[in-house]
Structure 1
């Protein structure tokens, strides 16, 4: 598993993975929002948690189409399916690699970009906490979408349509936790819901992803 994780991390950095692409997209979304809604600090500070969460979600989605595509093209998925390592574990490692190269950089960059949107000072900590709790769920759910559409021609659009509805609960509770933290309210309830969603997806989704991938490999 360690060797597979190192391999996926290496491929992500060498083959134009989600690290730079996701951060660039996140930055573009954050910079363009003030042009769309106007340079009103009060309005920007009010919508900042939701915009930052939406930008992080879309940035994660951007790199999902290549999560399993390279392994499909070079035959690595067939080897993984027949190896002693359970396919569920292999897909969990791939989801972890995706989070380390896409989700984690977004979590670290969010406070810096929050300054551009006039995010209130109390909201920076809770924004980071909510993203740290929620982005692993985005990667795990994205792995399920990638397993469903692997090998499908132009499957990126189809995967987006399949995955985005599954992202909605994470987006709702993540943005609500950040908003409550920014306004001085207690964010405990949405954070607990967000943690529950993440724990549930990590426990269930690898088995669903493995089942979908086995069907596609037949």
Structure 2
């Protein structure tokens, strides 16, 4: 059932006209930032990991209003509950599908962003590994925020306020992934977020 839900969610993401929005946003941030910083290549290279991670976080937030609210509005969540499917499984599948839907395209676009930001190949590989380890946490936080704001009109702005403070450890460990032990702490943060995410999102969706 979990795999069936993941396949369903991925098919919905693939049919969405906004499927390329996170990648386009990610690349546009990488393209525009050098113009804002100026010709200082050393400064740009030094702050490039932070730019990449902030862009990845905001890219994860872009589809937050469509992660759960449409299924709440059309009764899909209620139908799954009537069939005896636990909300935790539904939310876990949505986290997995959201991660695959936004993180893998971001990783594919990372070389382009790296060239625009002047990132060395060795640093680019470290960034890719850090994103692979940390984006599951961003996906989990995005689904939790989507569940908390699913019944609110214009909940995307509120979702950002919910996620940003919770994502700080992921951003800190992700930007400093080249430091000893930082990558392990990043993976631990992702595991904690993945362990808590389905239950927190299901609790927010469950009717009183």
SS at match of 2:39: coil
Q: Is the 8 A contact 1:69 1:151 kept in 2?
A: yes
Q: Is the 8 A contact 1:49 1:127 kept in 2?
A: yes
Q: CA deviation at 1:125?
A: 1.0
Q: Is the 8 A contact 1:45 1:118 kept in 2?
A: yes
Q: Is the 8 A contact 1:108 1:128 kept in 2?
A: no
The count of corresponding residues between Structure 1 and Structure 2 is 207
Partner Cα distance (1:213, 1:63) in 2: 18
TM-score, normalising length: structure 2: 0.95
User: Paired residue for 2:68?
Assistant: 68
User: Paired residue for 1:15?
Assistant: 16
Specify every segment of 5 or more residues in structure 1 that has no aligned partner in the other structure, as ranges: 181-186
SS at match of 1:110: helix
Q: Which structure 1 residue ranges, 4+ long, deviate > 4 Å from structure 2?
A: none
Q: CA RMSD in A?
A: 1.3
Specify every segment of 5 or more residues in structure 2 that has no aligned partner in the other structure, as ranges: none
Q: Is the 8 A contact 1:111 1:127 kept in 2?
A: no
User: Paired residue for 2:158?
Assistant: 158
Partner Cα distance (1:165, 1:96) in 2: 22
Q: Is the 8 A contact 1:141 1:201 kept in 2?
A: yes
1:119 lines up with 2:111 in the alignment:
no
User: Paired residue for 1:184?
Assistant: none
SS at match of 2:129: helix
Q: Is the 8 A contact 1:95 1:143 kept in 2?
A: yes
